[in-house]
């Protein structure tokens, strides 16, 4: 099983729903965070910078959607912390689950990147 977090509001010029990292950046730039919230969000984002591999974003995987593996429990727990801060500020956050994320073009121990299947029916 794979999981991802999405924010249902459109943010800036995004054509699609964004993930928690983009929403966090938006909140830091435009929101009114308490000192504690700002510091905690910074700690969480730094943790991800250290503990989540960054895929090489080549042209062929620009359309990829990234999903956590269900086994990435620490990453998911920290995403819930970010979600809580966002929700406090009115962001509509949802965790989405799937068994089939699409054509997998990237994988590591914690996440996959997949090109979503387009349903033409």
Give the residue from 35, 16, 14, 19 showing the smallest Cα distance to 86.
19
Cα–Cα–Cα angle for 49, 96, 22, nearest 5°? 40
DSSP 3-state assignment of 5?
Answer: strand
Q: What is the pLDDT of residues 18-55, one digit of tens each?
A: 899 999 999 999 989 999 999 999 999 999 999 999 88
Distance CA 29, CA 31 (A): 6
Residues for the chain: how many in total? 121
Residue 117's pLDDT is what? 83
The model's confidence at residue 3, banded by pLDDT at 50, 70 and 90, is very high
Tell me the H-state helices in the chain: 20-30, 35-51, 73-88
DSSP 3-state assignment of 57?
Answer: coil
Q: What is the pLDDT of residues 62-95, one digit of tens each?
A: 788 999 999 999 999 999 999 999 999 999 999 9
DSSP 3-state assignment of 107?
Answer: strand
* Share in percent of the chain as helix, strand, coil (round to 5): 40, 25, 40
What is the model's pTM? 0.89
The tokens for 1 are 């099983």
Q: Where do the structural domains in the chain lie, given as residue ranges?
A: 2-59+71-95
């Amino acid at each position: 099983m794979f999981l991802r977090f999405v924010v249902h509001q459109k943010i800036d010029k995004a054509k699609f729903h964004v993930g928690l990292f983009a929403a966090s950046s938006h909140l830091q730039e435009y929101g009114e965070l308490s000192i504690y919230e700002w510091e905690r969000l910074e700690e969480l984002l730094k943790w991800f910078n250290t503990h989540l591999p960054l895929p090489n974003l080549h042209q062929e995987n620009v359309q990829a959607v990234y999903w956590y593996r269900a086994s990435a429990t620490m990453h998911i727990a920290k995403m819930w912390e970010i979600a809580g801060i966002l929700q406090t500020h009115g962001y509509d956050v949802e965790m989405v689950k799937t068994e089939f994320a699409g054509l997998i073009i990237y994988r590591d121990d914690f996440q996959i990147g997949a090109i979503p299947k387009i349903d033409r029916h």
